[in-house]
Structure 1
Amino acid sequence: MPDQQPERDGPTYPAPIMALREELRRRQFWRAVLAETLGSLIFVSAVLGSSVPGPNGASPGPLYPALAGGMVAVSLGHCFGEMSGAQVNPAVTLAFLATRRLDLLRAVAYILAQCLGATLGTGILYLALPLKSSAECYVNKVSSEGNAGQALGMEALATFQLVFTIFSVEEQRRREGSEPGNLAIGFSLSAGILTAGLFSGGSMNPARSLGPAIITGIWEHHWVYWIGPVLGAILAGVSHEFFFVASASRQKLVACLTCKDIEIVETASVSRSSLSTITQTAMRAKQAHKHDHH
């Protein structure tokens, strides 16, 4: 009798591809992507709607967009924070990717969703405008009194303080679990728009600049609103995670750069920090007891 060949269930795939297929089948993944799309649409439409000139053509300045951006950031944190983190900003997503708080698949999906939502939000407002010429106010522009280099620096600086606040809030959430921190993020966003508004428009969000550029066709100095926010966001994320947070250590930075398991190193660093704190507390109590005895 000829040898019987074992039956095959189907083609086998490498482990990374299998993990990718499993992630794409998860309902939570697509719900998070939809949350980023809808969140970006709401955020961009709110910020752009607040920047439309008044009845006499007077510009509202950076105050109205700053208030609108901060308020909508707080509300989006409550609405979509548990689903996707309510990032609604490619610069924030890239900062989480650089510090390995987010995997590559989700980062790419989130950025595409954010850009799509921003474009849809801009398009809806453009169709609702009675005067299409007013759509130019949507586009972030370099100040006529400055240059692209100054605008780039202000975008990087404003985004740095925003993303550093976001990482600090996320760290506090992991430690305490009950502190929402959405107000801190909203205030930080408003402060950034007010700080950089007169120099660059205070974008701090590449998707917020991309949507109006696609709809209006105005691409002047558009590179400023990608390089500046992304540079500031990555610097903020890396400095917070590897220099300022309680679990920061050289081993953690090396693990990130060598693509090793960063959570094990982070847990060990926190454990050593907690043990050191307990030891110091015990020594202080012992010294106080001896002092009282004398």
Structure 2
Amino acid sequence: MALGIDFGSLDDALKFESLKKYVAEFISTLLFVYAGVGSAMAYDKLTSDAALSPAGLTAVAVAHALALFVTVSIAANISGGHVNPAVTFGLALGGHITVFHGVFYWIAQLLGSTVACLLLKLTTGGLAIPIHSVASGISLGEGVVMEIVITFGLVYTVYATAADPRKGDVGIVAPIAIGFIVGANILAAGPFSGGSMNPARSFGPALVSFDWKDHWVYWVGPLVGGGLAGIVYGGIFIEPYSHVPIATEC
């Protein structure tokens, strides 16, 4: 078992090529959150049902799956298309991105999510931005465990389809698989934990709404789940190798 954590250097993280990666993460996260959060807002506006009614849950899950497929695809050749601090964290544990790069990825992703929610507020006549929160009847501990499990599934899929050096030429399969697992996990976990899997996806709505109810759940759960996936797949199933950023692997 071999993990490959690489801190890198600040100088390398601030090179022009690195800055382009951060811009790509910002844009992709912005587009993903705008479509994902916007789908829940649109369903609430067009129907009398809540977004987590059966039809609303399906619509939101499909919107997130499609949006993530596209946003991972458009950033894959530039930044690796993480679009998620939990993915970045899990990949850092396997040496696919340096810690310094990872910190700037997080900043770009959180900014992208925040700007997306501000744009939604601006373009919907000031409608409320829905936040993630644990459902009534579900304890915070249960919510954390559910977020751990579904984020583990997401980051494990990222490793298997995009980060494993033995994957071969999977091309468009990786973004499709990543989008599908997110859509499926939202269908399974949405009525319980909210089905976030992504601290950035939860951060933007919480900041713009300034409603931090249960917010810690969407950092602890996804980061633990993503980290475990990095340890299991990156540390057990991938043979030791030199540090290679995921952007060169996609």
Provide TM-score, normalisation by structure 2.
Answer: 0.86
Matched, 1:212 2:191: no
- Asked whether the equivalents of residues 54 and 60 of structure 1 are also in contact (C-alpha less than 8 Å), the reply is no
Matched positions, count: 230
Aligned match of 1:152 = 144
Which residue type is aligned with residue 263 of structure 1?
Answer: S
Q: Confirm or deny: 8 A CA contact 1:99 1:237 kept in the other structure.
A: yes
User: Which residue pairs with 2:24 in the alignment?
Assistant: 35
- Residue 123 of structure 1 corresponds to 118
How far apart in 2 are the matches of 1:23 and 1:56?
46
Cα-to-partner distance string for 1:40-79 (whole Å, 9 max, x where unaligned): 1000011001111033432232222211111111112221
In structure 2, the CA distance between the partners of 1:27 and 1:63, relative to structure 1 (3 Å rule), is: same
Corresponding residue to 2:156 among 164, 179, 189: 164
Asked if 1 retains the 8 angstrom alpha-carbon contact of 2:131 and 2:211, the reply is: yes
Contact kept in structure 2, 1:173 and 1:179, CA below 8 Å: no
Q: TM-score, length-normalised on structure 1?
A: 0.73
Q: Which runs of 5 or more residues in structure 2 are unaligned? A: 1-6, 244-250
Does the Cα contact within 8 Å between 1:70 and 1:190 map onto a contact in 2? yes
The structural deviation recorded for 1:173 is 6.1
Residue 215 of structure 1 deviates from its aligned partner by 0.6
The aligned counterpart of 1:271 is: none
Q: CA deviation at 1:166?
A: 0.4
1:21 corresponding residue in structure 2: 11
Percent identity over paired residues: 33
Q: Does the CA contact (< 8 Å) of 1:36 and 1:114 recur in 2? A: yes
Judged with a 3 Å threshold, the aligned counterparts in structure 2 of structure 1 residues 23 and 129 are, in CA distance, closer, same or farther, namely closer
Deviation at 1:145, TM superposition (A): 1.9
CA distances 1:203-227 after superposition (whole Å, capped 9, x unpaired): 1100111101111111111110000
Residues 97-148 of structure 1, C-alpha deviations (whole Å, 9 max, x = no match): 122211111101000000000000011101222353x42xx20011012111
Q: Which has the higher helix share?
A: 1
Q: Residue type matched to 2:222 in 1? A: P
Contact 2:68 2:178 in 1 (8 A): yes
Alignment of 1:180-195 (within 5 A): 180=172, 181-195=174-188
- 2:67 aligns to what? 72
Label 1:142 to 1:22 Cα distance change in 2 as closer, same or farther (>3 A): closer
Greater relative contact order (Cα < 8 A, sep 6+): 2
**Does residue 102 of structure 1 match 2:97?**
yes
Preserved CA contact (<8 Å) 1:32 1:83: yes
AA of the residue aligned to 1:190:
G
Aligned to 1:227: 220
The answer to whether structure 1 residue 177 and structure 2 residue 181 are counterparts is no
| Rounded Cα–Cα distance in structure 1 between residues aligned with 2:197 and 2:213 | 17
What is the distance in 2 between the residues matched to 1:142 and 1:175? 36
Structure 1's unaligned 5+ residue stretches are 1-15, 253-261, 265-294
Aligned equivalents of 1:242, 1:207: Cα separation in 2: 25
1:208 is aligned with what amino acid? Answer: R
Which position in structure 1 is the counterpart of 2:3? none
Q: 1:141·1:221 contact (CA, 8 Å) conserved in 2?
A: yes
Max Rg structure: 1
